[in-house]
Structures are given as structure tokens and as C-alpha cells.
Amino acid sequence: MEWKQIIYNQLRERHRQEQDIYSEIVKHYNRLIENYSIILLRCTEQERDILSLRQENTDLQKNSVSVAGLPVNDKVKTLEHDYMKAKDEILTLLRERGDITKEVISLSRIVKERDDKLDSEEKKNQVLTKENTSLKQRLDSAEEKLNALQRVNETIHDEFQALHLAYMQLERRQQELDATNAFLRREMTEKLDKQCNALDEEVQQHQKRIEEDVKRKLDEAKNDVTNSNSTASITTPTSSTSMFRSSNLDGKIHRSPASDFMKVVVPTRAITKWDCGDNELHAIQFHPSGSLIATGGSDRKIHIWEMNTSNGQVQQSYVLTGNNSTVTAIDFDNEGNNLILGCSEDFACRVWGLADQRLRHTLTGHGAKVFCAKFITASLIASGSQDRTLKLWDLQNRQCVRTLFAGSKCHDLVAHDASGSLISGHFDKKIRFWDSKNDSTKCELQLQAAITSLAINREKHLLLACSRDDTLKLIELRENRVIQTFSHDDFKVTSDTIKAVLSPDCAYACAGGNDGSVFIWNTSTGKIEKIFNKEHSTIVNAVAWHPEGRFIVSCEKQRRAILWGE
């Protein structure tokens, strides 16, 4: 590494030559230069000071030259004296000035206070004037209101007077009207009583006539009977005295003394069976003369059958149409007008004439199926319906004259008297007795189950009700109490429209049962008299007793009708 050594040596040599010699000198030189410049600065400053001092000095010398005339001491004294005086004057003047400024300050403060007071007073004044104007306005408006109110008050007072007068007048009128009303009421009640009496007389006469008729027929029959054999197992002796009203309060059933020709006989056998209609049978009824049978069912037609009373043969006579739905009940009028009434599930009742088979009237108005309808008189019909009302129809006007609201579906009804009193049996287990004078129930009889049918006897004092608790109840109408209950183990009431009937002399009650049997009870003993259980196969909907008492006809659901006799 020779070269390194050489380089190093050269560097050291260079250092010595270039640096060592000169560095100290340069350092000292620079320091001297600095000091030199500082000294220069100070020098210039001092020269300036000297100059200024010299200037002052020359000035002072000039001043001293100008006062060179006087001896110096006296001059100085007088100068001093003048100087003191001047100073005193200055002091006093300064003091005066101070006082004056103080005064000025206080005065200005007072002025400010006065100004403030003035301002506040002015403001108060403004506020007060505003209040004053507003109060005046209010006063004016109040006066106006007062005037207006006074006027209104006067007018109201006047009106009051007038109204008072009118009121007095009206009161007087009302009193008059009340008086006339009472008078009129009294007259009306008298008239109604008169009417009732008249009706009673009419009924009496009617019965008299009937009795005479019966008597006549009996006479005729007597003649017949004496010619023919009489084979009767049980014949009820009929008395020939006519007693219309047999009131017997000891509970015994007094047999109604009808005409001689009536022989109520319990049938022994089925004489004729026939099918009628195409569907179910719901209603069957005898014509009051006993020669016609009417049936109605779900084929919407009423079939009229002729019956031969001697041999019991039945044949179809004609068919009445016009219903739009199932026929639920049939009734014949009993005043000889040859009218037949059928009510059906199409909410209407229809009346046909038997002689010409023509539809006479259609009575609509019910809101639901019509379950039952009866002639009260030849021109008054009562119908009961599922819409929980009973309606009374006048055939002359073809209008509903009364609607009775029963509150429950009416399953059957009977006419109590010709004036329009009704008895109806309802779904809610009640039998309702309706007054003909007003629209409310005279009385109600509660049973144990829904009532499916009602039948009343000719004298209108016994009511047979069939109810859903599988019993028939016999009700005495004077006191409205149940006197007999008929039942049997096999007798079941399973439909709401099963019909039960009384025999024309009330000796027997008949009804059809669920299994197709026909039951006959003795009303006086309450025991079952006869059961026919072989002929019908389905539920027996309705039964009817021949008005002369020798035949019973029953119809079952399955189109079959059977005539029972001996």
C-alpha cells in the first residue's frame, strides 16, 4: 500500500502548507477587523455627540451674549422675581379653572336629570292618552250593545206574550177534544157491545138453524135406519136434546148431543188405500158435507177426491192448481159457500171455488211460509206463518185487515168465534188467545214443548193441542187448564206440523205417529182406544175425522192416504 502512504504524506504536507500557516493569521486578522469596525461606529457616534454639544454650547453662548448689558446678579434677581409672580398667577388661574369645570359638570348632570324626568313624564302622558281613547271606544261599543240587547229583549217579551196566548187557546182546545174523545169512546164501546150481542144472537140463530137441519136429517136417517141393519160395535147413544153450551165444571166430558145421524165410531180396519199426488202429503181434510176429501202435498196441487159413504170407495174428482210451493194446510168453509182455502210454503194463501174449480183469491203478504189458515167466516180468513205473525184477511176487499205479532212461529190456529178471536199454537211452547178488539193476546198458556197442531170442538170449549213432547193435551177453555194428557210409548211427535183431531162429539182424539201408526185415545178415560200400525210405512202427517164420525182418513209422508172405517 505504498500509494496510500504517499497520499497520506502528501495530505499532511498540504495541510501544513495551506492551512497551518494561515489559519491563525486569518483568525486574528478577522478579529482585528471586527474591533476596528466597532471602534469606527463608536467614533462616529461620539463625533455626532460632540457636534450636538458644540451646537448647544454655541446656542448658550449666544443667549448669554444677549443679556450682557446688565450686571448679572441684579438681572438674575429681577428675572427670578418675575418668574415667581408668573408662577403664582398661573397657579391661581389653574385653581379657578378647576372650580369652573366642577361647576360645569354638576350643572350638566342636573340638566340631564331634568331631561330624563321630562321624557318619562311625556311617556306616561302618551300611555294615559292611549288608555283614555281605548276606554272611550269600549264605552261606546258597550252602549251600542246595551241598546241592541234592550231591543231584542222587547221583541222576545212580545213574542212570549203572543205564545202564551196561543198556548192558552190550545189548552182550551185540547180540553174540548179530550171531552169529545171520551164521549166518542163511550159511544164506541156501547156500539161494540151492541155488535157483540148482535153477533151472539146471530150465532144462536145459526145454531138453531143447524139444529133444525140436523133434526130433519135425523128424521130422514131414522127412516133409513129402521130399514137397514145396524151393526155397530160401539155406539154412542146420542141424545136428541139440543144443548149448545154444555158447561160442566166437574171435569167430565159431556158428550155433545148432535143430530141422530151422527154416529161416532172407532174404525176397525183400513177400507181404502190410495196414492195421491206425486210427492209427500202434508194436509188432508174432509168437506163439511162428508163427501169430498181434499189432500195437499209437496206436488203443489190440491187433489179433491169423491168418497162414497156407503162403501167407502174413493176416486179422484179434480185437481186444483195455482200454488207455487208445497201445500201445508187445507180448510173448507162451513157456511155453504163451497170455498176451499189452501195455504202453502210460497208465503201465500189461496181460495178456490169448488163448484167451478176456479182460483178466487190469492192472499199475499206474509214474509215466510204459511203454516195454517182457517175460515173464520166466509169472508174472513186467519192465517199463521213462519214469519211469527198472524194475519186476518177480508175476502171482500182481498186485503189483510189485521196483523198480529206473535213473536214466534205459528204452527196452527183455530177460530174461537166469528168476531175474529183466535187461538194459535206456537213454536215457543205457548198457546196464545187473541182478542178480536185489539191486537194483543188476551192470555197465554205455556206448555212443555212446541205446539204442532190445535183442534177445537164444535162447541168451542175444548181444545186439543199436540205438542213435541210426544203428548196430546186437552184443554178446557173456560178456565184455560189442561184436563187430560194423552200419550203412548210408540207415539212420537217428530215434526212441527203433525195434526191431531178430535172426533165430532169429542169422545175420541186421534193422531198419527212417527212410525206410521194411527192412535186413537178415549177422551174421558184418557186411555188408548185403538192403534193402527200396519198400514202406513212413514210418518203420518195429518188425520181428519169424517163429520158424521164413521170414517177417519190419514195421510202419510209417502203419498199414501188411507180411509179407515168399519
Three-class SS of 100-145: HHHHHHHHHHHHHHHHHHHHHHHHHHHHHHHHHHHHHHHHHHHHHH
CB of 45 to another protein, least distance (A): 15
User: Alpha-carbon dihedral of residues 69, 73, 76, 78, nearest 10 degrees?
Assistant: -90
- Please say which residue, 31 or 81, places its beta carbon nearer to another protein: 31
Phi-psi region of 506 (alpha: psi -120 to 50; beta: other; left: phi over 0): left
- Please say which residue, 36 or 183, places its beta carbon nearer to another protein: 36
Return phi, psi of residue 363, to 5°.
-110, 105
- Please say which residue, 30 or 525, places its beta carbon nearer to another protein: 30
Distance between CA 329 and CA 456 in Å, rounded?
16
CB of 26 to another protein, least distance (A): 4
CB of 43 to another protein, least distance (A): 10
Q: Is 402 helix (H, G, I), strand (E, B) or coil?
A: strand
In the chain, the amino acid numbered 149 is L
Distance between CA 389 and CA 347 in Å, rounded?
12
- Please say which residue, 24 or 159, places its beta carbon nearer to another protein: 24
Phi-psi region of 446 (alpha: psi -120 to 50; beta: other; left: phi over 0): beta
CB of 34 to another protein, least distance (A): 11
What is residue 19's DSSP assignment?
A: I
- Please say which residue, 28 or 478, places its beta carbon nearer to another protein: 28
CB of 7 to another protein, least distance (A): 5
Do the beta carbons of residue 502 and residue 464 sit within 8 Å? Answer: yes
CB of 51 to another protein, least distance (A): 16
- Please say which residue, 32 or 70, places its beta carbon nearer to another protein: 32
Q: Is 153 helix (H, G, I), strand (E, B) or coil?
A: helix
- Who's near 397: CB < 8 A, 6+ residues apart? none
Distance between CA 279 and CA 327 in Å, rounded?
11
What would the DSSP string read from start to end of 449-496?
S-EEEEEE-TTS-EEEEEETTTEEEEEETTTTEEEEEE--TT----ST
Return phi, psi of residue 309, to 5°.
-70, -15
- Please say which residue, 9 or 235, places its beta carbon nearer to another protein: 9
- Please say which residue, 50 or 70, places its beta carbon nearer to another protein: 50
CB of 32 to another protein, least distance (A): 9
What separation in angstroms does the CA of 464 have from each of 136, 285, 324, 531?
A: 96, 17, 31, 19
CB of 77 to another protein, least distance (A): 51
- Give the residues lining the site for another protein (CB under 8 A): 1-15, 17-19, 21-23, 25-27, 29-30, 33, 36-37, 40
CB of 9 to another protein, least distance (A): 8
